[in-house]
């Protein structure tokens, strides 16, 4: 098989994830190189994700590159993936999932219950805003954009009193030491697919898909696909405050969905 072109966004976390996939393929004797693809979500770092599109804002350009054969596979954070894929594309593998939970990073290491009334919490996710607003209506929820390092710097500089990030991303970048508290799922359920890396390919590329499939982790795939099925049924994207907790039961996966009204975000 020829050397493969792995499409990835240019952020440090995205490149870490793509390199993780490249190394996995190398262990199976498949050579690959990274190809950086700029997405609309990367180019516009100021606008709210709700304004610039939300669903697909970090994936469309990668999928276009796949369809145009400028890359051979694309690496995604599964929580960013729309539930409906373009015709001709498929998720060939989902790597073993890491910690699905959200993490709080605050000034002074304060935990969520220790934050003073009026504390400014930065997160671009409506899901997180709605659930945190429900738990503590006295906190101020503010949009924020930027990569992990940019967001951490904004806390250190005093722009925010605390931020919420996916723990898996912090773990991958060696930033777990900055976590003030792991947010309990009972307070803020994680996004569908959170903590999982997905590999997207063209359906017609059978040999390539078979090679990528060697990186698949069956339990992670089953859980993520179940969560995405619930999300699709509720017509929710990664910005909608919907989440799923999965419990393994004899005979398959039992799904349970939690739906939080977006009105909680506005204080209704």
243 is catalytic: no
**Mean pLDDT, to the nearest integer, of 69-74?**
98
Whether residues 33 and 63 share a domain: the answer is: yes
Whether residues 198 and 187 share a domain: the answer is: no
Whether residues 85 and 210 share a domain: the answer is: yes
Angle, helices 148-156 vs 12-27, to 10°: value is: 140
The rounded radius of gyration (Å) of the Cα atoms in the chain is 18
Whether residues 34 and 14 share a domain: the answer is: yes
Q: What is the CATH number of the domain that holds 16?
A: 3.40.190.10
- Is the pLDDT reported for residue 267 higher than 50? no
Whether residues 108 and 51 share a domain: the answer is: no
Whether residues 71 and 138 share a domain: the answer is: no
Whether residues 179 and 53 share a domain: the answer is: no
pLDDT at residue number 189 = 85
Whether residues 86 and 14 share a domain: the answer is: yes
pLDDT at residue number 53 = 56
Tell me which of 167-171, 203-207, 243-247 is least confident. 243-247
Domain range for 39 is 4-97+193-259
**Contacts of 203 by beta carbon, 8 Å cutoff, 6+ apart:** 88, 89, 90, 209
Whether residues 44 and 165 share a domain: the answer is: no
Number of domains into which the chain is organized: 2
Among 64, 72, 80, 149, the active-site one is 80
Whether residues 19 and 90 share a domain: the answer is: yes
Whether residues 141 and 111 share a domain: the answer is: yes
């Amino acid at each position: 098989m020829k050397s493969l072109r792995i499409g990835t966004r240019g952020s440090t976390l995205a490149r870490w994830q793509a390199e993780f996939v490249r190394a996995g393929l190398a262990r199976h004797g498949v050579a690959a190189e990274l190809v950086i693809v700029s997405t609309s979500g990367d180019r516009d770092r100021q606008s709210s994700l709700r304004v610039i599109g939300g669903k697909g804002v970090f994936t469309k350009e990668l999928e276009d590159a796949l369809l145009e054969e400028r890359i051979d596979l694309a690496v995604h954070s599964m929580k960013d993936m729309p539930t409906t894929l373009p015709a001709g594309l498929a998720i060939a593998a989902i790597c073993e999932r890491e910690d699905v939970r959200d993490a709080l990073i605050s000034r002074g290491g304060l935990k969520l219950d220790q934050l003073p009334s009026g504390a400014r919490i930065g997160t671009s996710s409506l899901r997180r805003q709605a659930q945190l607003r429900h738990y503590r209506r006295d906190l101020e929820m503010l949009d924020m954009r930027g990569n992990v390092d940019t967001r951490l710097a904004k806390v250190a500089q005093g722009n925010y009193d605390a931020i919420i990030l996916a723990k898996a991303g912090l773990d991958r970048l060696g930033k777990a030491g900055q976590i003030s508290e792991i947010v309990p799922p009972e307070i803020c359920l994680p996004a569908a697919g959170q903590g999982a890396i997905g590999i997207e390919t063209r359906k017609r590329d059978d040999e390539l898909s078979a090679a990528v499939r060697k990186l698949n982790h069956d339990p992670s795939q089953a859980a993520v696909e179940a969560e995405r099925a619930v999300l699709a049924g509720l017509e929710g994207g990664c910005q909608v405050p919907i989440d799923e907790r999965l419990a393994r039961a004899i005979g398959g996966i039992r799904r349970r969905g939690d739906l939080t009204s977006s009105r909680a975000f506005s204080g209704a």
